[in-house]
Amino acid sequence: MAGREQHGDGVRRRRVVLFSLPFQGHLNPMLKLAALLRARGLGVTVLHTGFNAPDPARHAEVDFFPIHETLPDEATSPDSDILRKLLALNAACEAPFRAALASLLRGGGSGHRQDVACAVVDGQCYAAMGAAAQLGVPALALRTDSAAAFRNMLACPRLRDAGYIPIKEEQLDEPVPDLEPLRVQDLIRVDGCDTDELCGFVASVADAVRASVSGIVINTFEAIEASELAKIQRELSLPAFAVGPLHLLFQTPPAEQSLHEPDHGCLAWLDAHPPRSVLYVSLGSLACVDRGAFEEMAWGLAGSGVPFLWVARPGSVSGAGDEAPPLPDGFEEEIRGRGKIVKWAPQREVLAHEAICAFWTHCGWNSTLESICEGVPMLVQPCFADQMVTARYVTHEWGVGLEVGEVLERGTVSKAVTEVMAGEDGAQMRERAHRLQMQASAATSSAMDSLVRFILSL
């Protein structure tokens, strides 16, 4: 191993401790970062919750250390919104994270004091940033959303003072100064949540970053977010490392850390379809829609006439608990084998499959990056938080996607699906997506190298 060969020069002995909140879209990039740091000779320990714990057998090079938290229901229930989850996780993980990090500093089970260079903690976990700083461990925040979304968070106090928050109906189309191309309707929001509570959470993150963090690590790349990155560095006076797209930086990619069992049968189903003929539909691991929206999606897909692969995740229809959402009556007869519905897909393999033509996505940042990296144009249906910001960038900054419709209604859905699959706009978006794919594959690991140098200087 490169790390062991370098044992004598001090590189191998320095250790990075990583901690992610237990979400699919946060664990994936954190574990990839862990593998990349390990491959550069650093010791790596991943602290993790017992809930959605990563499988150590899939990451042999990394040490794992549970924090032994006790989570309230609202941190894990599919009926609890993202803000409830984030607040509950921060509260429940603070003391266990501090105790686990302190134990590691004392040597954990090894009996030797560890040379911990820094902790890389989830960029939404202000509790862990503060706890690391209290223990004298330099903290870096890993943002698993876009640089643009993070800038929106940092701007919240200013937007509130200027009257853009709470969002008002009559201002929806107004551009937001200094956050172009965002309009008021594209600002981070969580429907049904109290504005004060959302602003309070955002302020806790921003305050912790300003008070306790030595640098920001972002899973993005310069070619798409250079100006947002420069502004973050200026606004925070902190280094920001654009280390993404993390999943592209491997010669041999590590095993995926999937919290659900992927249905690999859908790849064989895709094999039976011609190139660029299938629409892939997935709203990620957390987003929920109500029953009415789910039915409009179903009938919109049916009416479009295109073949589709649809991830209807258990728990993705609100009020239905953990159950796989039942399909509308008559739907399967209507589509007559034209669509395949699965509970969870091997998404990266799906997006890389030549049968895929376009991706109907909620614009979770991982899904967006994965789509860009495969040159697949998107239909956007943002559901909450950073997804609003990303959807606007996809459609208006990078020009690689189309809105599924302001109101989710079967007729507009069918029209949007047909346009992205076979229309003139769809063809132009595909060309632009192909150009972005080229830029993504040219993104080098130089930011990772700078990050490692920075960590070793701490």
User: Applying CB under 6 A, which residues contact ligand UDX?
Assistant: 23-26, 28, 144-145, 258, 282, 284-287, 311, 344-345, 347-348, 364-367, 370, 386-387
Minimum CB–partner distance for residue 387 and ligand UDX (Å): 5
Catalytic sites, residue numbers: 26, 122
Cβ proximity to ligand UDX, 114 vs 316, nearer residue? 316
Q: Of 162, 160, 171, which Cα lies nearest the Cα of 196? A: 160
| 339-342: strand order across its sheet | 339-342, 308-311, 278-282, 356-361, 378-380, 401-403
Question: Alpha carbon of 122 to those of 9, 107, 297, 316, 405: distances in Å?
Answer: 30, 23, 33, 24, 33
Q: Is the dihedral of CA 305, 319, 197, 99 positive or negative?
A: negative
Q: Helices H, strands E: what count in the chain?
A: 17, 13
- State the nearest-atom distance from the C-beta of 415 to ligand UDX, in Å: 25
Position of tokens 């997006």?
351
Residue number with CB closer to ligand UDX (74 or 263):
263
Rounded Cα distance between 406 and 390, Å, is 16
Comparing CB distances to ligand UDX, the nearer of 76 and 258 is 258
What is the C-alpha radius of gyration for the chain, rounded to an integer number of angstroms? 22
Do residues 121 and 127 touch, judged by C-beta distance below 8 A? no
Segments in 106-221 forming alpha helices (H) = 126-134, 147-154, 156-161, 195-212
Residue 453 neighbours by CB distance under 10 Å = 10
Q: How many C-beta atoms lie closer than 10 Å to residue 337's C-beta?
A: 8
Neighbour count for residue 251 (Cβ, 10 Å): 5
Amino acid (1-letter code) at residue 217: V
Nearer to ligand UDX, 283 or 452 (CB): 283
Phi, psi of 143 (to 5 degrees): -90, 120
Nearer to ligand UDX, 117 or 311 (CB): 311
Question: How many other C-beta atoms lie within 10 A of the C-beta of residue 175?
Answer: 12
Helices marked H in 194-255: 195-212, 222-236
Tell me the backbone φ, ψ of residue 378, rounded to 5 degrees: -125, 155
- Residue 374: CB partners within 8 Å, gap ≥ 6? 351, 352, 356, 437
Nearer to ligand UDX, 131 or 391 (CB): 391
In the bound state with ligand UDX, the residue whose beta carbon lies nearer, of 26 and 430, is: 26
What is the distance between the alpha carbons of residues 50 and 66, in angstroms, rounded to a whole number? 6
Report in angstroms how near the CB of residue 366 gets to ligand UDX at its nearest: 3
Query: What letter represents residue 443's amino acid?
Result: A
- Between 74 and 334, CB nearer to ligand UDX: 74
